Amino acid sequence: MKMQASITGNPVHEVGYRIFLLQKALGFGIQRFDAHNEVSNVNQQVIVHAEGEPDQIEAFSAFIRSKSYPEAIISDISVHEYTGYIINIIDYMHMIQIEQLSKGITAIISIDKKQDRMLDKQDQMLDKQDQMLDKQDQVIQKIDHMETAITGEIKDLRIDLRSYLDRKFSVVEQDIQQIKIKIGML
């Protein structure tokens, strides 16, 4: 007995639905199976063909009508008899493995390219960080020079202020001594 199921919804593609159905078909002992994605109007469809003993096909058809893959959003399911050729389930498994490997290779290549871009940006960031560290070292050197200059100026100011105050105190002491002489205290 042969059957065809059309599972319509958004999404039903790229969510693992065909693998889910393949696994269930294997569990039911179905010998011939295929599933492929199509687009009808704006809706995604998974078209499933299965061939096996009548009880296997009835059980598989009931499963398709009652259970859906968790990641899929189903809007319609139709099941009817089919008369065309259906590939051996083992050959379909090989085809789906190759398809999945192809997707994986594409993903790995994409990841590799993104990683190369990320490493380039990281190298640029490290270069900028090195430039920042160089500028920071220059600023620290300037601060050290300024500190040395300010310390020197403060020492010079202290020396100048001291000699100025020493002269003033000397003049004040002389004036006090003259005042004491005049008023007869000495």
pLDDT of residue 185: 75
- Which stretches of the chain are DSSP H helices? 17-27, 54-66, 89-183
CA distance 28 to 26: 5
Asked whether residue 171 is domain-assigned, the answer is no
Asked whether residue 153 is domain-assigned, the answer is no
Asked whether residue 81 is domain-assigned, the answer is yes
Asked whether residue 144 is domain-assigned, the answer is no
Asked whether residue 178 is domain-assigned, the answer is no
Asked whether residue 125 is domain-assigned, the answer is no
pLDDT of residue 183: 86
pLDDT (average), residues 44-58: 96
pLDDT of residue 113: 87
40 phi and psi angles, rounded to 5 deg: -120, 115
Q: What is the number of structural domains in the chain?
A: 1
Confidence of residue 186 (pLDDT cuts 50, 70, 90): low
Q: Crossing angle, helix 17-27 and helix 89-183, to 10 degrees?
A: 140
CA distance 83 to 4: 9
84 phi and psi angles, rounded to 5 deg: -80, 180
Q: Which helix (H) or strand (E) holds 46?
A: strand 43-51
Round the average pLDDT of the chain to a whole number and report it: 91
Asked whether residue 97 is domain-assigned, the answer is no
Identify the CATH number of the domain in which residue 43 sits.
3.30.70.100
Range of 46's domain? 2-87
Asked whether residue 31 is domain-assigned, the answer is yes
- % of the chain with per-residue pLDDT over 70: 99
